[in-house]
Amino acid sequence: MATKEQQTIPVSVIETPDISLSSKEQQGIDELISHSPQLAGITIDALKLIQAERGWVSDASLHALSLYTQIPVADLDSVATFYNLIFRQPVGKVVLHPCDGISCDLMGGEHIRQCLKQQLNITAGETTPDNRFTLIPLPCLGACDKAPVMIANKQLFENVTTDELPKLLSTFNEVS
């Protein structure tokens, strides 16, 4: 198709993505497209699908997705940067989501987060140098009666105490 990309000067030529979609990803996206009344409707699900496969959504992944779906990169990135759970930077093997909602804070949540930071020696949003952990506090995880809580590896940890944090982290070490 005679797109404007082809007609303009080299500066705007989009780099060929070095990571194209795997056949599994392509199948998943085809499936999404078949359900959605309009193409754009798949954007969030497609981004989540890519992230599930790759851990995060890189620029190259965005281009690959755009190339496959014909949704403009700017549209994909506009949506990707809007949502909390789409990671546009690489994350560690385990993403720790300690709750920073008010109910957890009332029960000492802030202290838990502080301890996590100290033990991992990173601040919120950072990844440990060994690439094991990324710390991303999330607001109210909806388990306020069990406060303070944390989500990691799709698992909810309730009534977290500072004492059990080292053990908790080490179980992830074993898993990963």
Partner 1 sequence: MRQALLVSKVLGVTNMNSSNQPQSPEGTENLISLTIDNQSYSVEKGQNLLQACLSLGLDLPYFCWHPAMGSVGSCRQCAVTQYQNSEDTRGRLVMSCMTPLTEGMIISLKDDKSQQFRETNIEAIMTNHPHDCPVCEEGGNCHLQDMTLMSKHINRRYSGKKRTHLNQFLGPLLNHEMNRCIGCYRCVRFYRDYCGDKDLNVFGSKSHLYFGRAESGVLQSHFSGNLAQVCPTGVFTDKPFSHHYSRKWDLQTAPAICPHCSLGCNINLGQRSGSIRRITNRHHDEVNGHFLCNTGLFGYEHVNHNERLEWPLKRNNEHKTTDKLTPEQAQTLLAEYCETPNENCIAVGSVRTHIENNAALLKLFGEQQFYLGIDDSHAQLLNMLCSAYHDTSLSPISLAEVERCDAALIINEDITHTAPRLALSLRQMSRNAGLKQAAKLGIKYWQDDAVRNIAQTTLSPVHIVQSHGSELSDIATQSIILNSAAQTVLLQEIASLLTTHLNSQAEQPASSEAKAIVNDLMAAEYPLVITGVQNRDLKQVSLSIEIANTLKQLKQDTGFYAVTQDGNDLHLGMMTANSHPKNASQGLDSLLKRLNSGTVETLIILETDLYRYLDKSQLDDALNQVKQIVVIDQLLTKTAAMADLILPATSFAESYGCYLSSEGRLQLSFATMVPIEERLTPWQWLSTQIGIPSYCELVLWISEQLPQLKAIETFAELARFNELSPFRVARQAVRSSSRTAIDAVEHVKEEQPPIDLNGPFTHSMEGVAGFRQALVQPISVLPADQWSPKWNSDQAGSRAGVNHTRDQSSSTTSPWTQGVQIFSPNPQAKRELGYQQTHSSMPLESEQIRLTPSANLYADFELASYSKALTSLAPHKLARIHPETASKWQLEENQQIRLYSDRSQVALECLFDSNQAKSTISVPTNYFRQLGTWARLTPLPAQKRSETSTQESTQPLSNEEER
Partner 2 sequence: MNQTLPHNPLTRFITDDESCWSIEQYQNQGGYQGFRKSLTLSQEQLLDTLKESNLRGRGGAGFPTGLKWSFVPRGDDAPSPRYLIVNADEMEPGTFKDRMLMEKTPHQIIEGLLIGAQTLGASIGYIFLRGDYYLAEKRLTKALQECRDANLLGENILGSGLDFDIHLHTSAGRYICGEETALINSMEGKRANPRAKPPFPQVAGLWGKPTIVNNVETFCNLPHIIHFGPQWFKDLGLNDDAGTKIFGVSGRVNHPGLWELPMGTPIRDIIEQHAGGMRDGYTLKGFLPGGGSTDFLVAEHLDIPMDYDTISKQGSRMGTGTIIILDDRYCPVAMVLNLIKFFAQESCGWCTPCRDGLPWAQVLLEKIEHGEGEPEDINQLEELCRFAAPGNTFCALAPGAVEPLQSALKYFREDFEAHINQACCPFHDKKRQGIDETGTPCIKGSGGDKYEQL
User: What residue ranges bind partner 2 (CB under 8 A)?
Assistant: 35-38, 40-45, 47-48, 78-89, 91, 97, 100-103, 105-111, 114, 117, 123-125, 136-147, 151, 154-156
Nearer to partner 2, 8 or 27 (CB): 27
Minimum separation from the CB atom of position 7 to partner 2 (A): 28
Q: Is 8 in the site for partner 1 (CB under 8 A)?
A: yes
Q: How many CB atoms lie within 10 A of CB 154?
A: 6
Beta bridge partners of 99: 138
Q: Is 41 in the site for partner 1 (CB under 8 A)?
A: no
Which residues, numbered 58-87, are part of the site for partner 1 (CB under 8 A)?
59, 62, 72-78, 81-82
Q: Is 23 in the site for partner 1 (CB under 8 A)?
A: no
